[in-house]
Structure formats: C-alpha cells, structure tokens
Structure 1
Amino acid sequence: MTRPTGKVSAFLQRYHPPPGGGNRPGGPLGGPIAFMFNPNQLTLTKSAAWIPHVVRGAEQVGVPEFSGSEPRTLALTVFLDVTDTHGRTVQQRVETLLSCCTPTTGSIAAKAPSPPWVKFTWGQFQTVSFYSYASQVTATYTLFNSSGTPLRATCELNLTEISGSKPGQNPTSGGRSARRVHRVVDGDSLPLLAHREYGDPTVWRVIAEANDLDDPSRLRPGTELLLPAADEFPPVLSRDSGPPAGTVAPAGEGR
C-alpha cells in the first residue's frame, strides 16, 4: 500500500437508495469513507453473456447468440491500521464498510429495504468510478493489542455496477427484463426456446402468440422470433397445453 501523502486519496461514497425505485441514487449518506492507504491493485471485470446453440446430431455447434452485457465488477483491498486522524478505530472503520451490505434506516422506514449505493472514486480514474452495490465485504484482522482490540485489518471489497435500462428493453413493460430477438436455427422448437429463455418449455404459447405463428410446429431457419420479457406474461397462463404438434419437449421436461 502507498500512503496518500501529497497525493490524491481514494474514497468510497455511500448514497441513499433511490426513493421509489429508479436508476439514480438519492443524496449522499454520510461523508466519504476515505482510505488510509491508496490501493496498490484494482481488479475491473466486464463480461458478456452468450447462449450456445447445440443441435442434436449435428457435427458442429450453431452460432452462439449474444444475450446481453454483464455489469462491471470492481475488486479492491482496503488496508486499515491502528487509529486514523479522525480518531476512528480499526473496528469502527470495518463496521462502516460492513454497513454497505445492510439496509439503510430510511429504506426500512419506507418499507423498501435496500443497502446504500456506493461509488469508488480515485482522482481522474473514471473507468473504475460508477454507481454500484457492495456484493461482499470481507474483513481480515491481522494485529491485536493485549486486550484483544484489533489494530490492523484488511478489507476485501467487491462492488457490482448498478445499470439503468438496457438497450432493447420494452419501454411499456416497466420492468428490468428486456425483449430479445432470436434467429431460428435447425433443431429449434418453441418448447426448446421457452426452456432456454424462461426455464419452462410449457410456456411456448407466449412466443407463438407474440409472433402470430399460424403453424407453431414448423419453424423455418432464419426466421426472427420476438422473445417477450417474463414480466409481459399474462396473469394466468395455461401450463397443461403440451408442446405443439410435431415437436418434442426438451429431455426430462413435462414427464
């Protein structure tokens, strides 16, 4: 670790959760949690989700389908030693970091419990500065005095980006789920698509109705199908209709 003497110090700012939902936080929750030592390593992760298409009996797999970008995650270590300049002990500072994983008093009072949103900031390093939630805080105490009071600790922070609406989201649904478009490949069937998308092959009628399919048992390769978001399902959905004629449900389903 490097002491921030004469340098810009890294800090973590907590924010009130958005009142009534939304993708912007409320005002700051307390002052910034300044780091006693700037981190000497930051791990930033960004990943993409793909759905592989495996055709039974084919020698080669189908072209995978991109299903969305995953949020950024940031992992860093906070080093704490004895008492800081404001008189806070190591134990008090650890408890402040742990509070990033517990609901705020205001959100509990509003009957919408939520931990605070947080943002890591370090000078002009904007790539690692984004609204996030603390998915995990791990404190390791490494030094104690004769009475058992901790004098030194390291805290591992794992922050996950909080994003707004994703491109392609159905603007009228009011949910976070997004409609997607799937291009039919050999071996596709409505029960198989329903199983991949929703985890239930019996809801194939939702896809059929969303695409006005006259003959849902025949899917032509290359056809683009709209896959509705789960929150667009009707309140009561018949789940005993079985697969359309001429199709076979995924192995192990509906038996």
Structure 2
Amino acid sequence: MNAPITFSATGGSATSGGLPARLERAYFELREPPAHGSAAPGPPRGRIDFQFNPTELSLSKKARWTKDTQPNSRSSGVPHYKGPEPSTLTLEMFLDATATADDRVVRTVDRLFTCCVPTDKTRSKGSGSPPWVVFRWGGLTGFTAYICSVAAKFTLFTPSGTPIRAVCTVTLEEISGETARQNPTSGGRTAREGHRLVAGDTLASIAQQAYGNPAAWREIAEANGIDNPFRLRPGTTLLLPAPEELTSPQISIMDGG
C-alpha cells in the first residue's frame, strides 16, 4: 500500500523570539558509493545547491503484502506482510538564470543527470553504482538515497537558444533504509545522523551533545576522515556514528534520564 505524504512550505518565515529565522538553502550532499561489502557512505564528492528552496516535498512509503487464495471463499485471504519497499522522496528544483543569461541552468541539469549514472570510480571497478545522495535543508535531513529519476522542463531561452529557466522534478529512492554499516551483533543496519558545523563547534562539544561524553570526538573524527580536529569548516556536515557503533572503551553513553 502506498502512503504518500506531502509537505508544503507556506509564505513567510519562521521566527524565534520575534526575529526572522536565518535562511537555510537546501542542497543535495553527494557521497561516493561505499567500497565493496560496506554499507557506510564513501567520501564526499561535492554538493548540488538549490537556487530556490522547494515549496513541496512528497514522501512515499510502500509495503509488500501477499494473500493466500481461497478457491471456495467469497473473500480474499488474510494478507501477509512481506517487508517494506524503499521510501521515495520527490521534489522540484526551480532554476533561473535570466539575470545573467549564462549556461548555469544547463550545467545544473547536467549535474543532476550525472547522478543517475555510475560514477567513474565505480565504473572502473566494474561495480557501476551512482553517487549516494542525502537531501539536506537546515535541520531537515532525508534518508541516504540515490537519484532514480530527473525530469527537466526548460521554459525560457535566450535568443541564441540557451535555456535560462527550468523546473526539474527529482525523485530519490532510499538505500537500505539506513545510512550506516552492518551492526555485527544484530545483523541489521545502524543509522547515522548528521551535524552541520557552525562557528564555535568543536568535535568535543559535538560529542558531548550527541553522546553525553566529549571523549567520543575521536570516533567522530575517524568516521569523517578528520586528521586535524582544530580545522573545522563551518557549513560542513559531519556524519555522527550511531551509539551502537562506538567501540572505544573509555566512552560511556548517557541516556539523559
């Protein structure tokens, strides 16, 4: 059964204490597909920024069911749950270059199309996987996914025929349901959250906020390939290992109770 949910953004800005909230631009965070046998996203491979934030987000979830046939029955059999289908997220990107009349709209559409084909790195290894993608918008973070379809409609052109306005409908399909590596004790996946760096953040303060213990900063650094914890760039998004993934013996997770 499909269960679509649509989130709409109305006019106006959210406020905090009577002041307008800071504008956050949505973007797609692109990651290299994981190495063979791993479910953890690979290193970053760039991002695609939204020129304008989306006005709607459509989220759909589907489950798989089977029913036993009853030849002499007047009604169908009892349905049996066979498991979930991947979630999908559909949104529109509005692109406009009327002020500059350059090819930035075409370049952005080309980048979106590139997300639907295998990366050069995976193609050279014979695995053929597209980049992994996470939709991020302020505190809103979608599931780890791949872009399964892009439909671009060009609506305005220069006299020379260069498209300078377009609407792109982008659909992302969930990968594995979570964004982390195999949990060796349960056989399942453990989910990772993200933290977007702001001025003043340190790995220790992030570890304190996420796990209740600043000593966990080493695990965050390792998960994100950080060699120098004193060089953190605001605006960068860090992946936070799930509590189940923390292995350092000196770390104790506080439950906040």
Do Structure 1 and Structure 2 share a fold, with TM-score over 0.5? yes
User: Where has structure 1 moved over 6 Å in runs of 4 or more?
Assistant: 1-5
Query: CA offset at residue 14 of structure 1?
Result: 1.1
Matches within 5 A, 1:10-25: 10-25=26-41
Q: Does 1:150 align with 2:166?
A: no
Percent of residue pairs identical: 42
SS in 2 for 1:106: helix
Contact 1:83–1:89 (8 Å) recurs in 2: no
2:50 maps to 35
Distance 2:91 2:146 in 1: 14
Residues 87-127 of structure 1: CA deviation (Å, up to 9, x unaligned): 8611011101111101111111112111111111111124x
Note closer, same or farther for the CA distance 1:42–1:103 as it changes in structure 2 (3 Å cut).
Answer: same
1:98 to 113, 122, 141: 113
State how far apart, in whole Å, the 1-side matches of 2:24 and 2:99 are: 17
Per the alignment, residue 159 of structure 1 pairs with 172
Residue 61 of structure 2 is matched in structure 1 by 46
Matched, 1:113 2:125: no
1-structure distance, mates of 2:136, 2:115: 16
Instruction: Compute the RMSD of aligned alpha carbons.
Output: 2.7
Q: Cα 1:22–1:151, aligned 2, differ >3 Å: closer, same or farther? A: same
Letter in structure 2 aligned against 1:25: P
SS in 1 for 2:114: helix
Does the CA contact (< 8 Å) of 1:13 and 1:120 recur in 2? Answer: yes
Q: Aligned residue for 1:139?
A: 152
> What does 1:1-255 align with in structure 2 at a 5 Å threshold?
6-30=22-46, 32-82=47-97, 89-126=104-141, 129-163=142-176
Q: Shift in Å at residue 49 of structure 1?
A: 1.1
What is the deviation of 1:21? 3.7
Change beyond 3 A, Cα 1:23–1:42: same
Unaligned runs of 5+ in 2: 1-8, 14-20, 179-183, 188-257
Distance change (3 Å), C-alpha of 1:91 and 1:98: same
| Letter of the 1:51 counterpart | T
**CA distance in 2: counterparts of 1:84 and 1:107, whole angstroms:** 38
Task: Give the counterpart letter for 1:157 in structure 2.
Answer: V
Structure 1 3/99 Cα, relative in aligned 2: closer, same or farther at 3 Å? farther
Report the Cα distance in structure 2 between the residues aligned to 1:3 and 1:35, rounded to whole angstroms: 19
Once residues 17 and 141 of structure 1 are traced to their aligned partners in structure 2, the CA distance between those partners, rounded to angstroms, is 30
75-84 vs 144-153, which moves further: 75-84
Task: Note if contact 1:81-1:152 (Cα within 8 Å) is conserved in structure 2.
Answer: yes
Partners of 2:41 and 2:12 lie apart in 1 by 31
Aligned length: 163
The structure carrying a bigger strand percent of its residues is: 2
* Uncovered stretches (5+) of structure 1, i.e. residues with no partner: 166-170, 175-255
Letter in 1 for 2:156: L
Tell whether the 8 Å contact from 1:140 to 1:153 is kept in structure 2 after alignment: yes
Asked if the contact 1:10/1:123 (under 8 Å) is kept, the reply is yes
CA contact (8 A) 2:26 2:137 kept: yes
